[in-house]
Amino acid sequence: MFRKISLLLILFLISACNAISPDAPAPIRFVPAATTQATAASSLPPASPTPVKPIVQATAPANTPPATARASAPSATTIAINLVPATTIQILGATYKSYQMPGDPFRFVCPEPCTVDPKLISAQYTGFRIAHAKLIKLTGVDTLPELLPVNIHVKNDQRCGNLSQSSSLSYASKWTNGNAYICTFLFEYIKGIGGQPYSPEFAVQLDQQTIFIHEYLHTIFFGRFADGGNQHDFVTPLALFVTDKLGNPDLCAYRPQTPPGDYGGHLIYELCRQNGFRISHLATSLIEQDKLYQSGGGKINQLMKHPLTTMAQFREILNRVLGSDTTKAFADACWPPALFGNSYVLPNSCTNRTPTVAPTRIPTR
């Protein structure tokens, strides 16, 4: 029973999530497809904006030796859960317990005194770690090194605010000239569901990682896409794909009634249909884009280590990788021509015919 509830909640959390960048806030556009999800949402606390400003972070990692526990999973999948080493760190002057396996680009942070059972956090961490590895195989790149480590907040705290006052149930953001972070409020929310516990056996499962993978994908795209509002065309379907919740093993077959993207269309579906895009092309494209960024070939300055690549540049990469012009796929997915310095007309099927965006094509001097 609780598993069903938790799945619905996770789906809703995904739908309500937002990616916030100091430079380019992303709109919340994805709407829950099922009535049951909306019902679950109706019991949530009212939302209100909670602006947060990037400040400074200091860390003092000193890993402790891991112990080992084992969870009996509710499904056929049994996953060993290693207790993740925990250290004490400071964020914004507050003390946190930081969980991180050596070498991982992310860490789970819980405000002290941390009231979440280490076994539960370790289970979630372990499940996420498996999903993260699967994700990176698809993207070919991880979050930019200058944004690491990605802090994954799991409770109400000074950085993320409180669930009852938050404008979204989860979001990803980054500090100016600092690292990326994710706010999930997961354990605050789970705690309040009919008094039923969110056990390690559930937390470790792949299908419980969707919200984490969704937000983490946003952090991978930070600095890779100049426009922060266009990521859900990729983030939403890919997160569901990684956590086996897409409903179909073929990413190209995913075409929900409610478009997953930010502009009201189905970009990946259209790229598949019109340009032969397949999941393997994603890593090829993102690796190429990463090389362009690392070489200083981007065209927009947004306080990152190098100028960011524009969407126009990314589309040019896609054209090369796919061997054909992707303009029509982007148009049919309702992507505004201004984003590419282009002038095509959006099809009538696009519900928002004139989305306002800042052009990301900068004239070559």
Binding site for Zn ion (CB under 5 A): 17, 19
Q: How near is the Cβ of 19 to Zn ion at its closest, in Å?
A: 5
Q: How near is the Cβ of 29 to Zn ion at its closest, in Å?
A: 9
Contacts 24+ apart (CB under 8 A), 235-239: 235/19, 236/14, 236/30, 236/260, 236/261, 237/268, 238/135, 238/138, 238/139, 238/213, 238/282, 239/14, 239/210, 239/213, 239/214
Residue 79 phi, psi (nearest 5) = -120, 130
Q: Judged by CB, which is closer to Zn ion: 19, or 116?
A: 19
Q: How near is the Cβ of 54 to Zn ion at its closest, in Å?
A: 19
Q: Judged by CB, which is closer to Zn ion: 17, or 292?
A: 17
The set of residues, in sequence order, having a beta carbon less than 8 Å from that of 202 and lying 6+ positions away, is 2, 3, 6, 74, 208
Q: How near is the Cβ of 192 to Zn ion at its closest, in Å?
A: 23
Q: Judged by CB, which is closer to Zn ion: 233, or 332?
A: 233
What secondary structure letter does DSSP report for 323? T
Cα separation of 265 and 353, whole Å?
11
Q: How near is the Cβ of 217 to Zn ion at its closest, in Å?
A: 8
Q: Judged by CB, which is closer to Zn ion: 25, or 45?
A: 25
* H and E: helices and strands count for the chain: 11, 10
Q: Judged by CB, which is closer to Zn ion: 19, or 120?
A: 19
Q: Judged by CB, which is closer to Zn ion: 98, or 231?
A: 231
Q: How near is the Cβ of 222 to Zn ion at its closest, in Å?
A: 12
- Output the residue with the shortest Cβ distance to Zn ion: 17
Cα separation of 83 and 191, whole Å?
21
Cα separation of 95 and 59, whole Å?
10
Q: Judged by CB, which is closer to Zn ion: 17, or 182?
A: 17
Q: Judged by CB, which is closer to Zn ion: 108, or 212?
A: 212
Q: How near is the Cβ of 74 to Zn ion at its closest, in Å?
A: 28
Three-state DSSP class for residue 354: coil
Q: How near is the Cβ of 211 to Zn ion at its closest, in Å?
A: 9
Cα separation of 12 and 130, whole Å?
22
Between the two ends of the chain, the Cα-to-Cα distance in Å is: 61
* C-beta neighbour count of 262 within 10 angstroms: 28
* C-beta neighbour count of 253 within 10 angstroms: 11
Three-state DSSP class for residue 90: strand
Q: Judged by CB, which is closer to Zn ion: 71, or 183?
A: 183
**How far is the CA of 251 from the CAs of 56, 177, 281, 345, in angstroms?**
39, 35, 12, 27
**How far is the CA of 344 from the CAs of 56, 231, 338, in angstroms?**
44, 21, 9
Q: Judged by CB, which is closer to Zn ion: 19, or 304?
A: 19
- 218: which 2 tokens? 């946003």
Q: How near is the Cβ of 137 to Zn ion at its closest, in Å?
A: 21
Cα separation of 63 and 357, whole Å?
45
Q: How near is the Cβ of 190 to Zn ion at its closest, in Å?
A: 20
